[in-house]
Amino acid sequence: MSDYIVEAELREETGRAATRRLRRAGKLPGIIYGGGKPDIAITMDYNTVSKLLNEEHFHTSMFDVNVKGSRVKNTVLLKATQYDPLMDTATHIDFLRVLASDSITLEIPVVAINADKCPGVAKGGMIDMIRHALEVTCRADSIPEHIEIDCSKLEMGDSVHIEEIALPAGVEVHHEVNFAVLNVSAPKGAGSSAGEAEETEAESE
């Protein structure tokens, strides 16, 4: 269990007009569902939850939502967040009830480490992230914060495929194709510059 706790209140009114009023009052509407229990419409303090949404670990943690006036314990995962397309502010949030032993599927960020030791980067290459996140299956209480890929031995042109990644214990990525997750590519324009140099040399001859 993480250290996160979200305080909420029951939300009696639903619908667009009601949610607009809540947002104007500094509240963020949401819902808790799943776990074989009734759905609960809730409201939370917008500023408090907005800060949590900026923390990467919050998106992959189990935590409790304490609903004022409710005796039901709600241990949840953040399932979805809706945003205003113009303001880029959260407008609604969904929480899924889970048990620690539940098997869940969700997207986890991919992080390249040891880029400063990468031989390909030392030669002018760039680490190109093909997949910024991976869909993994694991226990709800064993969600990794991110998936690491060690770049310390990668040369220019090397790729790292999903079957080459050391996943944390109990974490699986279901796949039918051994797809590439990242590669070390030459700087943009490097190929054309080399070609132009060869053409110039040929013309001078």
- Residue-wise pLDDT for 85-113, tens only, equals 888 889 999 999 999 999 999 999 999 99
Each domain of the chain, given as residue ranges in start order, spans 5-97, 103-192
Rounded-to-integer distance, Cα 71 and Cα 49, Å? 22
Copy the structure tokens of residue 128. 């190109």
Average pLDDT, the chain: 89
Is residue 191 a contact partner of residue 158, using CB atoms and an 8 Å limit? no
* Residue 70 banded pLDDT, cuts 50, 70, 90: confident
- Long-range contacts: 168-177, Cβ < 8 Å, 24+? 168/138, 168/142, 168/144, 169/142, 170/138, 170/139, 170/142, 171/136, 171/137, 171/138, 171/142, 171/144, 171/147, 172/136, 172/137, 172/138, 173/134, 173/135, 173/136, 173/137, 174/135, 174/137
The pLDDT tens digits of the residues spanning 10-19 come to 988 777 777 7
Rounded distance between C-alpha atoms, residue 96 and residue 151, angstroms = 35
Q: Model's pTM, two decimal places?
A: 0.79
Superfamily of the domain at 5-97:
Ribosomal Protein L25; Chain P (2.40.240.10)
pLDDT on residue 189: 66
Tens of pLDDT, residues 21-64: 888 889 999 999 999 899 999 999 999 999 999 998 999 999 99
Architecture in CATH for domain 103-192:
Beta Complex (2.170)
List the single range of 45-59, 118-132, 162-176, 188-202 with lowest mean pLDDT. Answer: 188-202
